[in-house]
Structure 1
Amino acid sequence: MLTINYTYRIYPNTNQSALMLEWLETSRQVYNRALRELKDWINSRKCMIDRCSIEREYIIPANTPFPSYHRQQNDLPKLKESWTELKNVHSQVLQTTIRRLHDTWESFQKRGFGFPRFKKFGQFKSFLFPQFQDNPINGYEIKLPKIGSMPISLSRPIPDGFKVKQARVLSKARGTQWYVIVSIQSDVSVPEVPVHGIAIGIDLGLERFVTVSDGSFFERPKFLSSQHRQLKLLQRRAARKQKRSANWEKAQIKVARLHHHIADKRKDFHLKTAHKLCDQAETIFAEDLNTVGLNRGMLRKECVDASFGAFLDLLKWVCWKRGVFFMRVNPNGTSQTCPRCQATVTKPLSEREHICPECGYRTHRDHAAAEMVLLRGLNVVPVDNRGMETVCAGELAGVEIPSQVPKTLLGATRKPKK
């Protein structure tokens, strides 16, 4: 079973846009109410049996069961009798809102952190239609239950053999732009891509966005810095308006649209770069960076602007779509190790050239790191993905290894067959 998500722009009229904004606000209130019930039940079980809390007491009987997903979902029809606004929202949209809360709760239990939080006004930006009896897309229109038909920009057609299973309506730029994320499904199985063709390693950085092991590189456009003056001007104008007034809302919309424009330019650059890398090779190895830690470090503003995590996720998707093998490798010490002789060459971050005192290899720092990423990737590829072994010790069947990578090092870690 193969499931793919396609994102399309939709153009609702004024009444439909107001109705969907009302649905988002109602879904937010349902989410907060269910979370309040969940937290009250948990807090009522915190105190010991023979004593009570000094600050407050949650009067919930001891035999009251845990407010699970099915229990809160079954309470929705009863809640509609006293909360009449829920009748305007599609019933399955409210059910998926409860499901969204409990998915977060189950994820919190597995990870041990990330307790669900209450959603403030405007923070709930999407709702989901979990199923359709018929295809909602007809030509250049999409028909959503209880909302009606609206124009849709079909930037790419739905492939033959796929059926529309779900549709998530997404609001962007403070409710002025609407998108629909369509989940399509087909009864096909896609085999895993083996290691084949030309192999390259890539290194991500702030000086050069991507440096390839073959010597090529891609410069990093500064998306946020190029629009920083305009963004600062719009934010200053918005701060001077009276909060919650009509002029304040107009100013906030301009700020949100500029942020959306910057994000679109960044995503377009990421996709084009990913396709260019797939044009160069059929096997790509990348560093498994701790992108969350980078976004909290000293260079967090530059790292957030570059968005390395989003690029790696898009690169993985593009590689899968184009039949290119992709793998992340351990990034520790890639810039402190010589790719030719494996000697440790310690150098500060300000030193941008790699000069090995052992073998005399000299190149750019990021280029040496990319070669090291390639070397590590070829050494850690599972044997099942390498195809049949040949008499060439250490070489992978069907993989073209660049001349700058020592083939003797590739065979050093291989264990002979018994």
Structure 2
Amino acid sequence: MLTMNYTYRIYPDALQQTELLSWLETCRGVYNYALRELKDWIASRKCSVDRCSLEKEYIIPADELFPSYHRQQNNLPKAKKQFPHLGKVHSQVLQTTIRRLHDTWEVFQKRGYGFPRFKKFGQFKSFVFPQFKNNPINGFTIKLPKIGEVPINLHPPFAPLSKGGWGDTGKGPVHGRAIGINLGLERFLTASDRSFQERPQFFKSMQRKLKLLQRRAARKQKGSQNYRRKDFHLKTAHQLCDRAQTIFAEDLNVTGLTRGMLRTDCVDAAFGQFLSLTEWVCWKRGVYFGKVNPNGTSQTCPNCLATVSKGLEVREHHCPECGYRTHRDTPSASLRERAAAEMVLDRGLENVGASGTLGNGNRLSSRSVGGL
């Protein structure tokens, strides 16, 4: 499930603003001090064991342990005795400041670049309260430790997640008419309600002019093709939300698709961006969005769940076990892809445990309307 963060504006008074700015500078000082300890320890281990630099050397005992997150965090109580102004800041805020430094350090170790940098005045712009003992929201105010109650604009609404934290799940409840969607290269999207959306093929439409475009790259407006694709994705997502209140899609391995034989077409279709934007649009419009296992959706009969092997050249679904065949009386969508979309819908309803409870929009009732 896509994790969503929400930003809410707060309105501290003049005294609270002064206090918050002071906290930011204190956190910046703690961050820079911890980073200096880290850099000095690393610099002291750069030279060989049997020689030293002729210019300068960091003299740190050989048995001095690496300044890890836990070591630096445990040194905070000692630092507060030496620097009393640190005690004005909430203890967990200082701990998460050091945690931020070591998160950056761990990312640097994995990537091999992006070593943490010192923060100049004004560059440290946020701090974190990692947890609250009780719900800090009281009407239109939030109670921050050591700061007090601050007015807050709660839009969208803020809902409790669990006993240990507060937030918003980013998903509405399963409700209303449900559809399943299947993404493909023959057609960009095929829905279980027999509708479809053709693939614009943004890249292929411009491929013949590629050499000319490369010559004009320095003068060409950047992002124009990406804008058209994103606009297409957003409009398609809104069209889906216009037709249903519950949407299920395949949880595609988009990274794997961009490395296969059809990688050019998959990159052009940008399935990953479409799924992310669709989930975001569903959240904005109060539509439930869920992902299902994509394995075998086009090889499984949505009527009896029997495995029906089909090659890519087979563009229809006909089950030899139960005889189920998708409708032929409308050319609105590929028969094979429509069967896959119906299978996506079935798996989605099974996952949420709501099969048969969503009214006349589910697959079984829509098929019965079709006259089977």
TM-score, with normalisation over the residues of structure 2?
A: 0.58
Paired residues, number: 263
Which of residues 380, 393, 415 is equivalent to 2:351?
Answer: 380
Instruction: Return the letter of the residue paired with 1:395.
Output: G
Aligned partners of 2:282, 2:239: CA distance in 1, in Å? 11
1:229 deviates by 4.0
Aligned partners of 2:325, 2:44: CA distance in 1, in Å? 62
Q: Partner of 1:395 in structure 2?
A: 356
- Residue 337 in structure 1 maps to residue 316 in structure 2: no
Please list, as runs of the form range in 1=range in 2, the aligned pairs for 1:121-140 lying within 5 A after superposition.
130=125
Instruction: Return the letter of the residue paired with 2:356.
Output: E
SS at match of 1:362: coil
Q: Partner of 1:94 in structure 2?
A: none
1:339 deviates by 1.0
1:300 deviates by 1.1
Q: Partner of 1:166 in structure 2?
A: none
- Residue 355 in structure 1 maps to residue 350 in structure 2: no
Instruction: Return the letter of the residue paired with 1:344.
Output: T
Aligned partners of 1:3, 1:102: CA distance in 2, in Å? 22
Q: Partner of 1:209 in structure 2?
A: 188
Greater percentage in strand? 1
Which of residues 240, 243, 263 is equivalent to 1:280?
Answer: 243
1:307 deviates by 0.9
Q: CA RMSD in A?
A: 4.5
Which of residues 112, 115, 118 is equivalent to 1:117?
Answer: 112
Please list, as runs of the form range in 1=range in 2, the aligned pairs for 1:19-418 lying within 5 A after superposition.
41=42, 61-63=62-64, 65-66=66-67, 102-106=102-106, 115-118=110-113, 130=125, 186=155, 188-189=158-159, 192-236=171-215, 251=218, 254=219, 257-258=221-222, 260-363=223-326, 364-382=335-353, 386=354, 395-396=356-357, 400-402=361-363, 403-404=365-366
Aligned partners of 2:114, 2:173: CA distance in 1, in Å? 44
8 A Cα contact 1:105 1:116, kept in partner: no
Aligned partners of 1:130, 1:304: CA distance in 2, in Å? 36
SS at match of 1:211: strand
1:64 deviates by 5.8
Q: Partner of 1:138 in structure 2?
A: none
Aligned partners of 1:129, 1:359: CA distance in 2, in Å? 65
Distance 1:130 1:357, change over 3 A: same
Distance 1:273 1:337, change over 3 A: same
Aligned partners of 2:265, 2:339: CA distance in 1, in Å? 22
SS at match of 1:344: coil
1:361 deviates by 2.6
1:261 deviates by 0.9
Distance 1:129 1:342, change over 3 A: same
Q: Partner of 2:147 in structure 1?
A: none
Instruction: Return the letter of the residue paired with 2:260.
Output: G
**Unpaired stretches in structure 1, ≥5 consecutive residues:** 7-33, 46-50, 72-97, 109-113, 121-126, 133-160, 164-183, 239-250, 387-393, 407-418
Aligned partners of 2:227, 2:100: CA distance in 1, in Å? 27
1:299 deviates by 1.1
Aligned partners of 2:285, 2:199: CA distance in 1, in Å? 24
1:288 deviates by 0.7
Could you say which structure has the larger radius of gyration?
2
Instruction: Return the letter of the residue paired with 1:117.
Output: G
1:237 deviates by 6.0
Per-residue CA deviation, residues 272-305 of structure 1 (Å, 9 max, x unaligned), is 0000000010011110111111111111111111
Instruction: Return the letter of the residue paired with 1:226.
Output: S
Aligned partners of 1:373, 1:101: CA distance in 2, in Å? 43
1:130 deviates by 2.9
SS at match of 1:130: coil
Q: Partner of 1:414 in structure 2?
A: none
Instruction: Return the letter of the residue paired with 1:401.
Output: N
SS at match of 1:355: coil
SS at match of 2:110: coil
Please list, as runs of the form range in 1=range in 2, the aligned pairs for 1:4-19 lying within 5 A after superposition.
4=6
1:116 deviates by 2.5
1:193 deviates by 1.7
**Unpaired stretches in structure 2, ≥5 consecutive residues:** 9-34, 51-57, 73-97, 116-121, 128-139, 143-152, 160-167, 327-334
1:223 deviates by 1.4
1:358 deviates by 2.3
8 A Cα contact 1:41 1:66, kept in partner: no
Aligned partners of 1:188, 1:62: CA distance in 2, in Å? 50
Aligned partners of 2:293, 2:103: CA distance in 1, in Å? 30
Distance 1:223 1:42, change over 3 A: farther
Report percent identity of matched pairs: 54
Distance 1:209 1:104, change over 3 A: farther
Aligned partners of 2:193, 2:322: CA distance in 1, in Å? 20
Distance 1:341 1:64, change over 3 A: closer
Aligned partners of 1:129, 1:104: CA distance in 2, in Å? 14
8 A Cα contact 2:176 2:358, kept in partner: no
8 A Cα contact 1:197 1:283, kept in partner: yes
1:233 deviates by 2.1
Aligned partners of 1:395, 1:211: CA distance in 2, in Å? 22
Instruction: Return the letter of the residue paired with 2:64.
Output: N
Per-residue CA deviation, residues 98-124 of structure 1 (Å, 9 max, x unaligned), is 98774354568xxxxx8133269xxxx
8 A Cα contact 1:202 1:286, kept in partner: yes
1:399 deviates by 6.6
